[in-house]
Structures are given as structure tokens and as C-alpha cells.
Structure 1
Amino acid sequence: MLQVGLMGGTFDPIHYGHLLAAESAREQLGLDEVWFVPSHHPPLKPHAPQASGEQRLEMVFRAIDFQPHFRAMPIELEREGTSFTIDTVAALREQYPEREFAVIIGADRVNDLAQWHRIEELARGVSFIALRRPGVELDCASLPAYLRERLRICDMPQMGVSSTEIRERCAAGRSIRFLVPDKVRQFILRNGLYGA
């Protein structure tokens, strides 16, 4: 069975940190592919994304077009509404029964994993890959046993870049070169995203 990592997020915009995280998980844990799943509106983020779903998906396509093991999946954008992982995984498992899925999360999400929508049901169908992040302490011991046994930890080179920082740099007229793939940078500039 093919092993697929699911990397969800707003990708507002996607940047090299996202790509490095996906490649680290793929390489270290032997995943066949990583699928990037831009969310319509994630339940744990208070504000809607600044770029449209179509623009964010296009940036993902542009960012990963060189990587044969990466795919963009518009499933949450097509569904609209709040993006619950359980609904996405259920739909993907039905569409792709020959694949096993692992949800890739940052270390900061591990601590609230037990509060995710229908988490027990979700954990029966997927495993979780936690990526270490600078300054974030992994508190796996506080997780219920059913989550601890479904969680794998992945190391990745530290890269201090965030979508928030990129949006702020654009708004201030500062360069985002080398923070995002050049095709993404060109798309942001051409479309005047984030005040660029």
C-alpha cells in the first residue's frame, strides 16, 4: 500500500519551510508521496486567509511543480466551509482506498491534538507525523495512549520562516526572495498579494 503524508494548512503563502517539512517527513519516514491540502477555513485559525483559495492553490502548484513526490489536493477548497481533517481523510480514503494516510503536523499542533474534531475516529484511520519546531516543546506524555501510539516524530532542519512574516514583508515592500520559490514570488508580485 502506498504511504501518503497529508500536509494541510492555509499556505497563505506556501514557503520553503513547508516544502522542507514535507520533504523531511517523506524522506525520514519512507512516504511515497506528500499531498498538500490547502484549507478553505481551518477551525483553529481565527482569521480567514488573505489570498483566495484559487490563488493559494495556484501558489502550491507553482511551488511543487519540480517535485515528483508532491501533489496538490483541492479537496477542502472544493468542499468549502470549515475544514475538519476527519472529513478530508474520510473522503480521501474513499477515493483512494489503496493508500495509507499520515497527517503531518507541526510540533505546536501536537499539544492540542487531543482537542481536534472527532479525534478518536480520526486516529483509527490515520497516523500522525509531528515535525520538531524551534522553541516548541513536544508534550507527547500528556496525550492519550491511543494518540501516542499513532504519533511519529520527525526531525527537520530549522528554518525560521512563516507565512505571517512573508505577508508582513510584502506589505512593507521588502523582498521575499529566497523565502518562497521564485514562481510563487512572481505570482505574489504579479497579483499584488499581501500589499506587494
Structure 2
Amino acid sequence: MKRIGILGGTFDPPHNGHLLIANEVMSALQLDEIWFMPNQEPPHKKKPDTVKNENRLQMLKLALQGNEQFKIETIEWERKGPSFTFDTMKILSLKYPKHGFYFIIGADMIEYLPKWHKIDELLELVKFVGVDRPSYSHETGYPVLYIDIPTIDVSSSLIRERLKSGKSARYLLPEPVLHYIKENHLYGT
């Protein structure tokens, strides 16, 4: 059985925090691959209207280059409407019946688990893996494998704000992604 970690998000833009989480979880759980899954319309928050999906996909490709165990899964872009994890994982489980899925979430989402769509059914399809996010608790009544990883307090919204105000985002995201952002005048650059 192939063991697959799933890391979902807007990746607007993808940054070094995403890569650190993926690498640490893959190593700690000895996973075969991490699938980065950009979402179309997250049900728990409004996706900022900042860049086109094509730009997000290209930045994600650039961020993942050089690591053959990091893949991109675009299933959520192929559907309209809110991207409920239960629906996505049901489709992936049917498509890949010999894979075991580990769904990676930050502590902010661990706190939100009781509100997830069809959470009890979802627990039959995936094992949740939790990682720290500053200012959030990872305590929950749900079965979550907690992985203690080094944390860097970086977010896509922080990077967008820094770029818009002309501040440096160097070392917060991979250099190829930063070059792409500047070349394409994204986020007010």
C-alpha cells in the first residue's frame, strides 16, 4: 500500500512553511509522497481574489521542483463550488483503492474539526495529521496524529502584504516562486 500525505490549501503563494510541513510529515511518518492539493473554493474561508489559478499552479510547480516525492493533485480545481474534504477524499479513495491517505492540517484546522462537513465519515477515509501553528491549540477529541515540527511563522497572507507594501519576501518562499511573482507583477509587485 502506498502511503500518501495530502496537504491542501490555496497556495496563494506557496511558501517555505508549506514545504517544511510536507517534508517533516513525510519523514516522520515515512510516507511515499506528499500531494499538494490547491483548492478552488475553501468552505471555511473566502479565498482572496489575488491571482488566477494558472498562476497559483505555476508557482506551486516552481516551489516543488527538485523533489520527486512532492506531487500536485488538482482534483479540487476540476469541481465547481465549495471544496469539501469528504467529497474529495471519497473520489480519491475510489480512484486509488490501494493508497492510504494522511490528511495534513495545521492547529488552526484541528480546532475547526468539529465543524468539518461529514467529519465522522471522513475519518473512515483518512488519518488526520496535525502540525503546530502559532497561537492555536492542537488539542482535540478527534484522532489526530500530532507531528512536532520546527515552526516558522509565515503565511501566504503575510507574504502578500509584504509584497504589496514593497517589503522583502526573500527566504519566506522559494527563489523561483519569488522571481515568478516579480516577473508577472503579482501581489502588487
CA shift for structure 1 position 90:
1.3
| Alpha-carbon distance in structure 2 between the residues aligned to 1:110 and 1:127 | 13
Q: Which ranges in structure 1 are unaligned for 5 or more consecutive residues?
A: none
Residue type matched to 1:18 in 2?
H
Q: Determine the structure 2 residue equivalent to 1:167.
A: 160
Q: Which ranges in structure 2 are unaligned for 5 or more consecutive residues?
A: none
Which of 177, 180, 186 does residue 170 from structure 2 map onto?
177
Contact 2:10-2:47 at 8 Å conserved across structures:
no
CA shift for structure 1 position 106:
0.1
| Alpha-carbon distance in structure 1 between the residues aligned to 2:112 and 2:171 | 31
| Alpha-carbon distance in structure 1 between the residues aligned to 2:130 and 2:8 | 13
Q: Would you identify which runs of 4 or more consecutive aligned residues in structure 1 move more than 4 Å?
A: none
| Alpha-carbon distance in structure 1 between the residues aligned to 2:80 and 2:165 | 31
Q: Does 1:121 align with 2:121?
A: yes
Q: Determine the structure 1 residue equivalent to 2:148.
A: 155
| Alpha-carbon distance in structure 1 between the residues aligned to 2:22 and 2:120 | 25
| Alpha-carbon distance in structure 2 between the residues aligned to 1:177 and 1:158 | 17
Q: Percent identity?
A: 42
C-alpha distance 90-4 of structure 1, shift in aligned 2 (>3 A): same
Which of 181, 184, 189 does residue 191 from structure 1 map onto?
184
Matches for 1:16-31 after TM superposition, within 5 Å? 16-31=16-31
CA RMSD of superposed structures (Å): 1.2
Q: Determine the structure 2 residue equivalent to 1:97.
A: 97
Q: Determine the structure 2 residue equivalent to 1:134.
A: 134
Q: Determine the structure 1 residue equivalent to 2:84.
A: 84
| Alpha-carbon distance in structure 2 between the residues aligned to 1:183 and 1:80 | 30
C-alpha distance 64-123 of structure 1, shift in aligned 2 (>3 A): same
Provide, for residues 22-49 of structure 1, a one-character-per-residue CA deviation record: whole Å limited to 9, x for no partner: 1111011111111000000101113444
Contact 1:12-1:49 at 8 Å conserved across structures:
no
| Alpha-carbon distance in structure 2 between the residues aligned to 1:80 and 1:13 | 21
| Alpha-carbon distance in structure 1 between the residues aligned to 2:137 and 2:89 | 27
CA shift for structure 1 position 84:
0.7
TM score, norm. by length of structure 1: 0.92
Provide, for residues 37-87 of structure 1, a one-character-per-residue CA deviation record: whole Å limited to 9, x for no partner: 000010111344422212111111110011111101111112132111111
Q: Does 1:106 align with 2:106?
A: yes
